[in-house]
Structure 1
Amino acid sequence: MTETMRAARFHADIKTNVLEDVPIPAPGPGEVLVKVEFCGICHSDLSLLDGTFPAMLPVVTQGHEASGTIAALGAGVTGWQVGDRVIPSAGRPCFQCRSCRRGDLTNCENIQLMAFAYDGAWAEYTVAQAGGLTRIPDNVSFEQAAILADAVSTPYGAVVRTGQVRVGEAVGVWGVGGVGTHIVQLARLVGAVPVIALDIDPVVLDRALELGADYAFDTRDPELPAKIAEATNGKGLDVAFDSAGLKVTFDQALGAVRRGGRVVVVGLSGQEASLGPTATFGLSQKQVLGHLGYKNIDIEVLAELVSRGRLDLSRSISEIVPLENVAEGIEKLHNHVGNPIRILVRP
């Protein structure tokens, strides 16, 4: 192993990602060094670059959806060996908040996010906490394993935990790109019916139908409310997922859910949304829920679903770019070139 590696580093002062040679990090106690096979490009990576998310460090390696093999073990690590195929968690507990002091690390109140609070995996190597690793089943590819840590697990958390979608509930998904596509698949998997995909791109809508949506509607259609009502036999949606995080998508989602229905905001942007008059909102008994991330156990569950053929992610990898071309991948995601679900970086 050489002493240096290539890494794509975000510089906060110029809001630019720069490919650099940096020292290979050494794992500390309870940590492992992971040789990265693949790492996804996520919209939150773009949000750091464009300033939607404030920088937490002056310089940081980006990328938080990774897969790879363990290259070295830190002191005190047990249960893992060099060469094990793993998925690092995209966050780590702070060890200082009230929950962490009680030993409840999974509910850390100040979770530190990979590629924001500490170096990520757009690099040849990354350091990860051993307690946050998930073993990759032998029949699951590194490519599909990488996106489990956010691109699929965040939708899983939104559907199962925050949205608490139940069998037979009507679900709508606004924005069926990388996150929304997986919400469609997972909502169908847990028994939602009907599952309605909503977007402005006909190609994306056709893809959503192929991947499990029962209906696919253009959000610009003036007949949209009537079409949703017809698809749900007049009751409206039980749960609406806003994967875009825009004012227009939030407004439509809130208007489409039935009395007492739930709106889960998964997409993030700088736009402001409104609940309208408090009297109207209160009388509607609707709920608006913000969602972020997942629990580590969710990655293990999803890996098992993929391994056993219950969840098909074969179409989720839209393109793979070498680390040297990460800027090209970023640009393609930003401009929706080819309507990517996920673009992967290969160091």
Structure 2
Amino acid sequence: MVTVLAGRLDVKTRAFSVEEVPTPRPGPGEALVKVEAAGVCLSDVHLIDGTLTPLYLSGDTVTLGHEVAGVVAEPGAGVTRWRPGQRVLLQAGEERDGVVWTRGVDYDGGWAEYAVATGSTLVEIPDELPFEQAAIIPDAVSTPWAAITATARTEPARPAGVWGAGGLGVHGVQLLRLVGAAPIIAVDPLPEARERALAFGADLVFPPDDPELPARVRGETGGAGLAFAFDFAGVPAVREQAVRCLGPGGRLVLVGLTDQPLTITDGTAFSYFQQQVLGHYGSSDEHVVQLVELVRRHRLDFSRSVSGVLPLAEAREAVDRLLRKEGNPVRLILRP
């Protein structure tokens, strides 16, 4: 039996290891992809530490990895769109029986030498887009893109705030710049993260412990406050602070996940000024396709987003680095 390496998680014991598994085979309507790059996301860390649990996984073990790019190795029966050698990224999930299943969570993902994907979840990528950058478009880039364009319906020349300048938030800054939000204000406790936000396009940065932050935001927006605020941190105190920075009709979009309650201290003012809190999760296939086209047209560049590349065999080290925030990475990449 021919075997390949894969990063496998036992969801009952939360034991993770890179081990030999049988080479997967594509079924009808599927394609076998030789993985060239796979992103390491905080969601992967939360799967390992037990914070997240798969909803639809059949069995107790799963190959992690929902940010994946590679080359088509073998189309399955009935697949005519794809041929061996095509460069592709894999959508981070797919709809099954009316619900969305997440790759690397509810079924095997791309922390592996080879991955199987339904043909409809492949997106062709241009030759000039490196696999390391292509891999992170699903989720690390598409999630903030969907939050900005679809959930918040961000408008140009209006002020926006970003809380948390990590892997999602810093791309949020970059994408807000692309759609013309102004000014863009980033809030993060880490000085290096604030510097990175400036490099990615923020106009102003502040630490969240600044007691004058709401007043400073209003001062920078001509007294108006923020039209759009994005919580990429998933921290209750962040959300309360962001609400205090909203202007009339302002929208707070909750992108970072937490099971803690949201408190709005002054509910009367919130209602009077017709402000909104909007939940957000992930992205749709169309958002990934849009981003690939923007890269193809040289509107976006993600070369600064790859903070390090490790071999697949060192997946545990990558997880530990992300957990420790060692080097304050945007995205770490695994290469089989």
* Cα distance in 1, alignment partners of residues 84 and 242 from structure 2: 47
Q: Which of 255, 269, 272 in structure 1 is aligned with 2:244?
A: 255
Contact 1:246/1:273 (8 A) holds in 2: no
Contact 1:31/1:130 (8 A) holds in 2: yes
1:104 equivalent in structure 2:
none
1:103 equivalent in structure 2:
none
Tell me by how many angstroms 1:311 deviates: 1.1
Matches within 5 A, 1:177-196: 177-196=166-185
Tell me by how many angstroms 1:277 deviates: 6.0
Q: Deviations over 1:111-155 (max 9, x none)?
A: 111111100000011111111111011111111111111111111
2:232 equivalent in structure 1:
243
- Describe the SS at the equivalent of 1:197: strand
* Cα distance in 1, alignment partners of residues 30 and 254 from structure 2: 33
1:77 equivalent in structure 2:
79
Instruction: Go from structure 1 to structure 2 and tell me whether the alpha carbon gap of 1:247 and 1:230 turns closer, same or farther (over 3 Å shift).
Output: same
* Cα distance in 2, alignment partners of residues 322 and 167 from structure 1: 41
1:211 equivalent in structure 2:
200
1:45 aligns with 2:44: yes
* Cα distance in 2, alignment partners of residues 310 and 300 from structure 1: 14
Contact 1:140/1:303 (8 A) holds in 2: no
1:125 aligns with 2:114: yes
Q: Which of 283, 287, 295 in structure 1 is aligned with 2:272?
A: 283
* Cα distance in 1, alignment partners of residues 205 and 269 from structure 2: 29
* Cα distance in 1, alignment partners of residues 4 and 109 from structure 2: 13
Tell me by how many angstroms 1:279 deviates: 4.2
Contact 1:52/1:270 (8 A) holds in 2: no
2:3 equivalent in structure 1:
4
Q: Deviations over 1:141-172 (max 9, x none)?
A: 11111111111111111111111101111100
2:317 equivalent in structure 1:
328
Count of paired positions: 333
- Describe the SS at the equivalent of 1:10: strand
Matches within 5 A, 1:19-58: 19-56=18-55, 57=57, 58=60
Contact 1:31/1:128 (8 A) holds in 2: yes
* Cα distance in 2, alignment partners of residues 172 and 277 from structure 1: 20
* Cα distance in 2, alignment partners of residues 55 and 167 from structure 1: 38
Q: Which runs of 5+ in 1 are unaligned?
A: 98-109
* Cα distance in 1, alignment partners of residues 12 and 159 from structure 2: 46
2:91 equivalent in structure 1:
89
Letter in 2 for 1:77: V
2:15 equivalent in structure 1:
16
2:68 equivalent in structure 1:
66
Letter in 2 for 1:54: T
Matches within 5 A, 1:149-168: 149-168=138-157
Q: Which of 249, 259, 276 in structure 2 is aligned with 1:270?
A: 259
Contact 1:70/1:84 (8 A) holds in 2: yes
- Describe the SS at the equivalent of 2:192: helix
Tell me by how many angstroms 1:278 deviates: 4.9
* Cα distance in 1, alignment partners of residues 273 and 2 from structure 2: 61
Q: Name which of structure 1's ranges 291-300 and 230-239 shifts more when overlaid on structure 2.
A: 291-300
Q: Which runs of 5+ in 2 are unaligned?
A: none
Kindly report the root-mean-square deviation, in angstroms, between the aligned alpha carbons of the 2 structures: 1.3
